[in-house]
Amino acid sequence: MLTSESPTAVIGAGAIGGITAALMAKAGRNVELVCKHSQTTDRALYPGLRLRGVCGEHEVRMQAVTNIGELSSPKDIVFLATKANDCLTAARQLAPFLTDDGVVVSLQNGISEDALGEILGRGRVIGCVVGWGATMHEPGELEMTSEGEFVLGNIDAQPDERLPIIKSFLEFARPTRISDNIMGELYSKLIVNSCINSLGAISGWPLGQLLKSWRVRSIFIAQMREAMAVAAAMKLKVEPGGGGKLDYYRFVKGNGPLAILKRHLYVKAIGTKYARIKSSSLQSLQRGRPTEVDYLNGYIVEKGKAFGVATPVNEAIVRMIKQIEEGSRRITPDNIAELPLA
């Protein structure tokens, strides 16, 4: 049974995992951090991870190891905070370190819950949306860059008595809400990331510059409409995005000139408000790392195929990002001209 004393681990000492683990440890929870890099492990042990930004300034020492195989004991709760590309490998290594009742809370962007369920058993996987932002400036130096909440839920939408305990852990880092439709919450965030991350990665432009262009806005809107058509085929109720302000069902409704104009104005306003956002996918590519596209636009394409919904815009985006990852295409605004509008 999970309790507030439950032995806990966080896998991944990057922006999200490092901050979450440090704030739990500071509050006295029994948490062990798996860092992957010994330099980060040493730092977490002494003098501690240094946090700044929205969460205030802290230096927090905690139990830490470099590899999952070195965990000091089996865990009741594991927060998985690697990039989506690494989460399945981590889950395979984790299986022997879970107690009989042990659960894994997936903090990734995109949707990896079904695949995690195949490895760990669906009952052990808890979905979680990370609605706040953070950056790792260097190993052990972390900044919480924006406010926002965690949203937590049972991936089969079942009543789940474990959720309040898990919530009590996460609340040391950020306010946490329990949802009875976590897959719809995850999909809602996935839509935002699929649009913003991918277009930033392809063009190299920050959001403000991107969304000034009529063509980019049209692609952005087409991506969203494809994603909503796939959700409808999956019979998935998509929760509002943008901190609850964006009702996707209203957004995609209508094909007349007024509906089109309203969509463009809405998207343009997003670009003005969040002009400086440089997508994390673009940042990954610029560091020579892969993006999480398979778990974002790739998920829409895969589900589109399974449910018989055409997704040409998302397909073209996945193809282009793969080419950039492989080195056969440059990041340039010229790529935008090659994408279809619908």
Ligand X SMILES: NC(=O)C1=CN([C@@H]2O[C@H](COP(=O)(O)OP(=O)(O)OC[C@H]3O[C@@H](n4cnc5c(N)ncnc54)[C@H](OP(=O)(O)O)[C@@H]3O)[C@@H](O)[C@H]2O)C=CC1
The partner in contact with residue 197, picked from ligand KPL, ligand X, none with C-beta cut-offs of 5 to 8 angstroms by kind, is ligand KPL
CB of 198 to ligand KPL, least distance (A): 9
83 vs 303 by CB, closer to ligand KPL = 83
In 108-120, which positions are buried (b, 16+ CB within 10 angstroms) versus exposed (e)?
Answer: bbbbbbebbbebb
Taking the mean position of all CA atoms in its chain, how far away is CA 9?
A: 19
N- to C-terminal Cα separation, the chain: 50
Residue with tokens 């400036």, as numbered in its chain: 137
CB of 90 to ligand X, least distance (A): 4
Question: Which stretches of the chain bind ligand X, using CB under 6 A?
Answer: 11-17, 34, 36, 68, 81-84, 86, 90, 107-109, 130, 133-134, 136, 280, 292
291 binds ligand KPL (CB under 6 A): no
Torsion from C-alpha of 17, 142, 110, 290, nearest 10 degrees: -110
Question: What 3-state DSSP class applies to 212?
Answer: coil
CB of 136 to ligand X, least distance (A): 4
279 binds ligand KPL (CB under 6 A): yes
Residue closest to ligand X when measured from CB atoms: 14
Of 155-214, binders to ligand KPL (CB under 6 A) are 192-193, 196-197
CB of 281 to ligand KPL, least distance (A): 7
CB of 293 to ligand KPL, least distance (A): 12
83: which 2 tokens? 């990039």
| Contact between 160 and 154 (Cβ < 8 Å) | yes
CA angle 31, 36, 17 (to 5 degrees): 45
The partner in contact with residue 21, picked from ligand KPL, ligand X, none with C-beta cut-offs of 5 to 8 angstroms by kind, is none
Smallest Cα–Cα separation from 298: which of 280, 279, 315? 315
8 vs 112 by CB, closer to ligand KPL = 112
CB of 124 to ligand KPL, least distance (A): 26
Helix axes 312-326, 182-203, angle to 10 degrees: 60
Give the whole-angstrom CA distance, residue 123 versus residue 143. 33
The partner in contact with residue 98, picked from ligand X, ligand KPL, none with C-beta cut-offs of 5 to 8 angstroms by kind, is none
213 vs 280 by CB, closer to ligand KPL = 280
120 vs 196 by CB, closer to ligand KPL = 196
| Contact between 301 and 315 (Cβ < 8 Å) | yes
82 vs 218 by CB, closer to ligand X = 82
Instruction: For 205, list phi and psi in degrees, rounded to 5.
Output: -95, 150
CB of 85 to ligand X, least distance (A): 8
Give the whole-angstrom CA distance, residue 228 versus residue 222. 10
Of 248-277, binders to ligand KPL (CB under 6 A) are 277
Q: Which contiguous run of DSSP H or E holds residue 220?
A: helix 214-234
20 binds ligand KPL (CB under 6 A): no
Give the whole-angstrom CA distance, residue 21 versus residue 27. 10
- Binds ligand KPL (CB under 6 A): choice among 40, 188, 213, 280: 280
7 vs 139 by CB, closer to ligand X = 139
145 vs 332 by CB, closer to ligand KPL = 145
248: which 2 tokens? 């996707």
268: which 2 tokens? 């343009």
192 vs 339 by CB, closer to ligand KPL = 192
Positions in the binding site for ligand KPL (CB under 6 A): 109, 192-193, 196-197, 277, 279-280
